[in-house]
Amino acid sequence: MHHCAHARYVWNLAVEQHSHWQPGRAWAPNYVEQARQLTEARAGFDWLRAGSQTVQQQALRDFAQAVGNFFGGTHRKPTWRKAGQHEGFRQVAVRPEHVQRLNRKTGRVWVPKVGWVRFRWSRNVATGVKSFRVTRDHAGRWHLAFATIPDSIPAPGTGEVVGVDRGVTVAAALSTGDLLTCPALSPGEQRRLTRLRRALARAKRGSHRRRRVKTAIAKLAAREADRRRDWVEKTSTDLARRFDLIRVEDLNIRGMTRSARGTVQRPGRNVRQKAGLNRGILAAGWGRLVARLEHKAPGRVEKINPAFTSQTCSACGHCVPENRESQAVFRCVACGHQANADVNAARNIAAGRAVTARGGRALAGPANREPQLEPPSAA
């Protein structure tokens, strides 16, 4: 599909522009500037002009979002998109009449400059969809996903406030003491994935077998992603229903407190980085959770600067790195208060405390820096 090639071309152009940017230099062109350049490029190239402008603009917007995520610390740097590997585009400003159901199993959607495209009606399409995304997976199957903004959930009116911390040992910790885990693959599925990965390494390039194994791996990955999405939906609905005010850590602030080397300033976060494999998925899940909360509880979500929340005592406010007995345990050296480390952090977030460093060590460094803890050997 031409749309994919156009979206990819525009995206890669944006990546190229951004790769020229270096710390200390002026900012690379932002979305507005790039959109202006796109208009110029469309005037100059017939093949680009023949494509859909909304698809091309959307690729730029997606890129701007990706850059934002990168500097927010939740995602990796946006990279080049390759033909055959990253095929997809997004269509916005969808009108209700552009999505039609033909029968129980099929529907069709109007894609500008392409026409009607039939798709298998596998899930309910909510009314009022504003955009959809078309992608092609490694197995060569096309997918169509509609994006909907969920209805807001009324506040319970109890005046209750909750703090949510992205946990080190769990997906999220609540100030109420709840520890939430995000479902992943079952041990059986995990074993199967390991077996498949080994099989993939042995399979000859270009062989049928290799393609079969790749498809099986992609299916497992999709199942895991489905479960995480499901968890995000349930958790965000639950929180929006139970609490009037939801305070979460502000990831953008965290991104800015990164040191030049790119290490995250929060003690213990390194350990999770080493877990590597799940980090990206978990981080993406967290960003999604916050986004969904903002949809479902508009005006009731507050972002809190997370600096020092993990080493400040939620009982007495004493703030020193020594409070952090281990990855999982918080024990205040001043008042003896002991709690799960993630829950203690969530309580500080719930308090909305503008936490400042009072310990001597913290004052030695820049104000927004937090001393690193040694990763515990037993983790």
Q: Which is nearer to Zn ion, 272 or 324 (CB)?
A: 324
> Using CA of residue 192, residue 197, residue 203, residue 209, what is the dihedral sign?
positive
Q: Which of 278, 337, 369, 376 binds Zn ion (CB under 5 A)?
A: 337
Q: Which is nearer to Zn ion, 164 or 313 (CB)?
A: 313
What is the per-residue DSSP string for 258-278?
Answer: --TT---SSTTHHHHHHHGGG
Cβ of residue 325: shortest distance to Zn ion, in angstroms? Answer: 13
Answer whether 376's CB lies under 8 Å from 267's CB: no
Helix (H) or strand (E) holding 14: helix 2-19
Out of 165, 250, 294, 370, pick the active-site residue: 165
Q: Count of residues binding Zn ion (CB under 5 A)?
A: 8
Q: Which is nearer to Zn ion, 7 or 339 (CB)?
A: 339
Going by C-alpha positions, the residue among 22, 97, 30, 74 that lies closest to residue 288 is 74
Q: Which is nearer to Zn ion, 317 or 352 (CB)?
A: 317
Q: Considering the rule CB under 5 A, would residue 332 count as an interface residue with Zn ion?
A: yes
Q: Considering the rule CB under 5 A, would residue 108 count as an interface residue with Zn ion?
A: no
Compute the distance between CA of residue 363 and CA of residue 292 in angstroms, rounded to an integer. 37
Q: Considering the rule CB under 5 A, would residue 155 count as an interface residue with Zn ion?
A: no
Cβ of residue 267: shortest distance to Zn ion, in angstroms? Answer: 17
Of 148-156, 201-209, 299-307, 326-334, the segment contacting Zn ion by CB under 5 A is: 326-334
Compute the distance between CA of residue 91 and CA of residue 366 in angstroms, rounded to an integer. 45
The CA-based diameter of the chain, rounded to the nearest angstrom, is: 71
Active site (annotated) includes residue 325: no
Cβ of residue 172: shortest distance to Zn ion, in angstroms? Answer: 23
Cβ of residue 359: shortest distance to Zn ion, in angstroms? Answer: 13
How many other C-beta atoms are found inside a 10 Å radius of the C-beta of residue 220?
A: 15
Residues 27-46 that bind Zn ion (CB under 5 A): none
Out of 224, 250, 342, 370, pick the active-site residue: 342
Beta strands in 152-229 (DSSP E): 161-165, 172-174, 179-180
Answer whether 229's CB lies under 8 Å from 182's CB: no
Out of 62, 87, 224, 249, pick the active-site residue: 249
Going by C-alpha positions, the residue among 171, 348, 376, 367 that lies closest to residue 265 is 367
Residues 282-321 that bind Zn ion (CB under 5 A): 313, 315-316, 318
Compute the distance between CA of residue 73 and CA of residue 264 in angstroms, rounded to an integer. 9
Cβ of residue 101: shortest distance to Zn ion, in angstroms? Answer: 60
Question: Which residue type is seen at 28?
Answer: A
Q: Which is nearer to Zn ion, 135 or 338 (CB)?
A: 338
How many other C-beta atoms are found inside a 10 Å radius of the C-beta of residue 350?
A: 25
Of 128-136, 137-145, 244-252, 337-345, the segment contacting Zn ion by CB under 5 A is: 337-345
Beta strands in 114-208 (DSSP E): 115-120, 131-136, 142-147, 161-165, 172-174, 179-180
Of 24-32, 184-192, 300-308, 325-333, the segment contacting Zn ion by CB under 5 A is: 325-333
Q: Which is nearer to Zn ion, 161 or 315 (CB)?
A: 315
Active site (annotated) includes residue 87: no
Q: Which is nearer to Zn ion, 48 or 341 (CB)?
A: 341
Compute the distance between CA of residue 198 and CA of residue 245 in angstroms, rounded to an integer. 47
Cβ of residue 177: shortest distance to Zn ion, in angstroms? Answer: 17
Active site (annotated) includes residue 224: no
Cβ of residue 345: shortest distance to Zn ion, in angstroms? Answer: 14
Q: Considering the rule CB under 5 A, would residue 335 count as an interface residue with Zn ion?
A: yes
Which positions touch Zn ion (CB under 5 A)? 313, 315-316, 318, 332, 334-335, 337
Residues with a catalytic annotation lie at 165, 249, 342
